[in-house]
Chain A
Amino acid sequence: MGHTFAEKILAHKAGLEETVPGQIVEVTPDAALSHDNTAAIAGIFRRIGVPRLAHPDIHVIVLDHACPAPTTKHAQNHKEIRQFVAQQGIKHFYDVGRGVCHQVPAEEGFALPGALVVGSDSHTPTAGAFGAFAVGIGRSEMAAIMATGLIWLRVPESLKIVVHGQLPEGVTSKDLALHVIGDLGADGGLYQSVEWYGEAVQALDMEARMVIPNLMAEMGAKNGYIPPDDVTFAWLKGRARRDYEPIYSDPDAEYAAIVEYDATEIEPVVAKPHTVDNVAPVREVAGTHIHQAFLGTCTNGRLSDLAMAARVLEGRKVAPGVRLIVIPASTEVYRDALDAGYLRTFIEAGAMIESPGCGPCMGNHMGVPAEGEVSISTANRNFRGRMGTKESEIYLASPLVVAASAVAGQIVHPNDL
């Protein structure tokens, strides 16, 4: 009997011949991500009572959740992290403004095929786009990794998704992922390793691929996985920090389920308030008045996302009464968007451009909505209160739909603009 990607990589990392779903293994991650929560994690680490990190080189710390600091308390939090980084001699530290904690490790070559990545952030599965086994964990667990280098993981069952054919023009990987989440539900991949196959997935560039495992967190999955191929290897050239060894599922691996989709039938969609699986075609909610549009985040703040939005906004204006906030996912994206002229397009359209980071995604700053306001966002969560205001609504969509809606002042299918 063959094994899935998850079974194989966890066996490899645990030094076992093989593993089966349900088995618990103890492993040392290749990379351990944390962000603004590192000060709290450091506090727990100190309570354990070990003076030094077990493996300082596996820790990657990226400040992004409230950057630059909006309040004295946030600034104090960042300061404590910088002190901890200095004390412990942590080399892989990316201070405020460098970018989002799932984008920077990709650019810096930590997200690699066959790597085991853990992160004290629920969107850690993003690195699965490169063929890493990447899972979100809690703060105490990260502190325990700091002390011991070890974490226990349950070997997950695997779900195989196959997307046949090609996505139509104007339909993005965001629409594909939301479509699947809408179909399978917010717990459709609970505890599972979700593997993605098919021509539609293979045809995506690396940036578009990253959207899919990122959103698998919203389906309850442990991780998402796209098998590494030439697209992956080309992207990693000059970026990978070390040699890597891709791991692939065996052809006769056993899956909890195999679900197939026809890409040609997928259309632009939104996730309506207040759950990510509340998915509907854009045209079904067309005409919904919006107050704010947000382009950015670990889901859709990359160069190709900004390029899509710039194409829509070129020569157009953001509707009166609508705020369009653009936040590049990293300094690299910011610079490249500047060179490509996208930032000029955004400014001339009437958008605001903020420094790389999470921005208003979880309601810290840079565009918190007022009560009664409606936002459309390229982020990955639309839970009640997510952007900081309980009595407000969030629609999630692709960069194309967000940009088109900002121009229209209401939700609109890009083809109807």
Chain B
Amino acid sequence: MTIRGKVWKYGDDVNTDVIFPGKYTYTVSDPAEMGEHAMEDLDPDFRSQVQPGDVVVAGKNFGCGSSREQAVVCLVSKQVGAVIAKSFARIYYRNCINNALPAITCPEAVEALEKGDEIEVDLMAGEIRTSKEVFSFPPFPEAVLGILNAGGLIPYTRQRLGLKG
């Protein structure tokens, strides 16, 4: 599976409160509406300008803070193709995988990429390609790959339980 899009670049320790403010957690339940609050307190341009396939690129500890899954769903709703970071907060990482949003740890790529760069992410080859460079990232563990390939934890769980579709 290959993702193509442009880079939205952010710094270290981007927390879930700025990705999806806590005050909306019990009043916004529609994923499309969650998308309209994506990155609200970090980058007001993001939600109106992000295009399907675009990639969020950030420093260390991306998604720290709350366990709120909306901070992932709001990006999925905007059809973000992948998130690349130097490291991820652990619950955020799990939430990404469980919503079939590839979360890729690749510090070298983060250093090199700039906002607006056009990139290609090849999940099977484990490569991030720009017009100039190629960066490799380690393959996903089997347990994680199973969930990603199924389209997220819910379809994965349905498959395991022998439920159709």
Contact = CB atoms under 8 A, between A and B. Distances in A.
Interface of A: 24, 36-37, 40, 43-44, 47-50, 65-66, 71, 73-74, 77, 120-122, 124, 136-141, 143-144, 147-148, 152, 186-187, 190-191, 218, 220, 222, 275, 277, 362-364, 368, 381, 383-386, 388, 390
A241 to B, nearest CB: 24
Nearest to B24: A363
Interface in B111-165: 141, 143, 152-154, 157-158, 160-161, 163
Given A77-B26, A187-B13, A362-B22, A138 B161 contact: no
Nearest to A191: B90
B65 to A, nearest CB: 6
Nearest to B165: A49
Interface residues of B, number: 40
B47 interface: no
8 contacts: A37-B25, A73-B27, A138-B67, A139-B67, A139-B69, A362-B17, A383-B18, A390-B21
B102 to A, nearest CB: 16
B50 interface: no
Contact of B89 (A44, A47, A220, A363): A220
B3 interface: no
Given A138-B69, A140-B152, A364 B26 contact: yes
Contacts of A190: 61, 87, 89-90
Nearest to A385: B41
Contacts of A147: 157, 161
B95 A187 contact: no
A124 to B, nearest CB: 8
Contacts of B154: 44, 47-48, 140, 143-144
Given A37-B25, A43-B29, A122-B65, 7 more contacts: A36-B25, A44-B154, A138-B72, A148-B157, A218-B64, A363-B21, A385-B40
What 9 pairs between A and B have smallest CB-CB spacing? A362-B22, A187-B61, A383-B17, A138-B95, A363-B23, A122-B67, A385-B41, A140-B98, A139-B69
Contacts of B23: 362-364, 368, 385, 388
Nearest to B99: A140
A124 B66 CA distance: 11
A229 to B, nearest CB: 28
B91 A364 contact: no
B4 interface: no
Contacts of A364: 22-23, 26
A71 B27 contact: yes
A48 B161 contact: yes
A390 B69 CA distance: 21
